[in-house]
Amino acid sequence: PPLRLPVQLSERSYEVVIGEGLLARAGALLAPVLPARRVAIVTDETVGPLHLPALRQGLAEAGFAIAAECTVPPGEASKQLPVVQRLLEEMLGAGVDRRTAILALGGGVVGDLAGFAAAIALRGLPFVQLPTTLLAQVDSSVGGKTGVNLPLGKNLVGAFHQPRIVLADTGTLATLPVRELRAGYAEVAKHGLLSGEALWHWCEAEGEALVGGDPAALAHAVLESCRLKAAVVAADEREESPEGGRALLNLGHTFGHALEAECGYGGELLHGEAVAVGLGLAAALSARLGECSQELPGRVISHLAACGLPARLRDLGREFSAAALLGRMRKDKKARDGALRFVLLRGPGEAFTAGDVSPALVEALLRDEG
Enumerate binding residues for ligand NAD (CB under 6 A): 44, 46-47, 50, 74-76, 79, 106-110, 112, 132-133, 135-136, 139-140, 143, 145, 155, 172, 175-176, 180, 271
* Beta carbon nearer to ligand NAD, 174 or 205: 174
Of 27 and 147, nearer to ligand NAD (C-beta) is 147
Task: Name the catalytic one among 79, 227, 246, 303.
Answer: 246
Of the residues 90, 239, 350, 363, which is catalytic?
239
Write the CA distances from 370 to 190, 277, 282, 300, integer angstroms: 22, 11, 14, 17
Has 303 been annotated as catalytic?
no
Q: Do 138 and 145 contact (CB within 8 A), yes or no?
A: no
- Catalytic annotation present for 288: no
Smallest distance from ligand NAD to CB 32, Å? 25
42: three-class secondary structure by DSSP: strand
Pick between residue 46 and residue 353 the one whose CB is nearest to ligand NAD: 46
Q: Which of 15, 69, 187, 204 is catalytic?
A: 187
**If DSSP codes are grouped into helix, strand and coil, which group holds residue 102?**
strand
Q: How many CA atoms lie within 13 A of 136 on its CB side?
A: 27
Residue 225 phi, psi (nearest 5): -65, -45
Contacts of 327 (CB under 8 A, 6+ apart): none
271 vs 68, 263, 287, 333, CA distance in Å? 30, 11, 24, 16
Active site residue 224: no
Catalytic residue among 51, 182, 190, 253: 253
Can 149 be counted among the known catalytic residues? no
Minimal distance, residue 306 CB to ligand NAD, in Å: 21
Catalytic residues: 123, 145, 187, 229, 239, 246, 250, 253, 257, 271
| Binding site members | 108-112, 132-133, 145, 154, 172-175, 187, 253, 271
